[in-house]
């Protein structure tokens, strides 16, 4: 099998694939235009968030047999269409769960103690000790929207920090120990912190908007390390500027990079450029799982 690596993948696992007999070309800087021309020469491809695999690209590649996305979610791939064309589509749903969960918890702590603002004052050579009177997250209620692999990892850490955890997930019938399943409206009313951990789909796009913000506790804090576009950005901006939402931490945006930076520039927003899985440990797990799936597919076709 001939494989093209379209996005950054750890070298160790590329060599594993080659040692297993795969022909692997690394083109992690390939442009969409180049990919359209070159992909027909390959049996398989490895992508992450940068490379989008849409219908037009799939149609141009009759030899393509497998697409592996390093990471959780398949929103960058027209995966249902690919499957209709007989192309296997896989991802690595477990590999980055812990890294994203740690970022979400870290963001909650930063919001609770205004750590970003406090650090900024120190860099400005100001000693404003009395300006930063924060909150403990212990004893607060965390509302998780989505309790798949990442949501469950967040819950473990939140419970260890003595938070009460409630969750809404229409695809889950029974929650792990320590998590109470509730309706979305119940979660919005109860949570001091809301953290999102679900894919962006037709159903979840803009599922948190003006109507949902009106049902939340005054002073709630929002964390989104899932996907941009699940929270309506205009409605969030309005809620943040009005004080209805005390703060937000955003690792993802509707457009990446944003064309409108108004959310990221708010004083009560902490923002980062989609770095949830950007740890050495997660990258290694992703590479290992990608290699494992491709080697297995080359041997038995699944």
Q: Which residues are catalytic?
A: 227, 256, 274
Residue 300 CA to its chain's centroid (Å): 31
Long-range contacts of 136-140 (CB under 8 A, 24+ apart): 136/112, 137/108, 137/109, 137/112, 137/161, 137/163, 137/193, 138/162, 138/163, 139/163, 139/164, 140/164, 140/192, 140/193
Handedness of CA 184, 186, 188, 191 (dihedral sign): negative
Task: Transcribe 252-298 into DSSP letters.
Answer: --SSSS-S--TTTTSTTEEE-SS-TT-SHHHHHHHHHHHHHHHHHHH
Distance in angstroms between the alpha carbons of the first and the last residue of the chain: 13
**Cβ(105)–Cβ(158) below 8 Å:** yes
Residue with tokens 């990471």: 71
- C-alpha–C-alpha distance, residues 118 and 128, integer Å: 8
């Amino acid at each position: 099998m001939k494989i093209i690596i379209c996005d950054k993948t750890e070298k160790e696992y590329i060599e594993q694939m080659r040692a297993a007999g795969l022909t692997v070309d690394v083109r992690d800087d390939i442009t969409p235009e180049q990919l359209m021309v070159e992909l027909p020469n390959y049996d398989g491809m490895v992508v992450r968030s940068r490379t989008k695999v849409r219908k037009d690209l799939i149609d141009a590649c009759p030899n393509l047999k497998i697409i592996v996305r390093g990471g959780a979610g398949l929103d960058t791939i027209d995966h249902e269409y690919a499957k209709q064309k007989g192309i296997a589509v896989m991802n690595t749903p477990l590999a980055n769960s812990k890294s994203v969960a740690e970022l979400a918890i870290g963001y909650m702590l930063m919001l609770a103690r205004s750590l970003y603002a406090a650090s900024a004052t120190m860099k400005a050579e100001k000693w404003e000790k009395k300006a930063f009177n924060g909150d403990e997250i212990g004893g607060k209620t965390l509302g998780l929207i989505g309790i798949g692999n990442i949501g469950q990892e967040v819950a473990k850490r939140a419970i260890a920090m003595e938070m009460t955890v409630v969750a809404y997930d229409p695809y889950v019938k029974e929650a792990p120990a320590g998590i109470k399943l509730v309706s979305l409206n119940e979660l919005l009313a109860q949570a001091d912190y809301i953290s999102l951990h679900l894919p962006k789909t037709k159903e979840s796009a803009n599922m948190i908007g003006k109507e949902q913000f009106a049902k939340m506790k005054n002073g709630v804090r929002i964390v989104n390390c899932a996907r941009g576009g699940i929270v309506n950005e205009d409605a969030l901006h309005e809620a943040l500027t009005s004080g209805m939402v005390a703060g937000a931490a955003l690792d993802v945006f509707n457009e990446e990079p944003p064309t409108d930076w108004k959310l990221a520039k708010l004083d009560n927003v902490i923002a980062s450029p989609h770095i949830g899985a950007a740890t050495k440990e997660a990258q290694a797990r992703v590479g290992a799982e990608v290699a494992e799936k491709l080697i297995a597919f080359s041997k038995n076709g699944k």
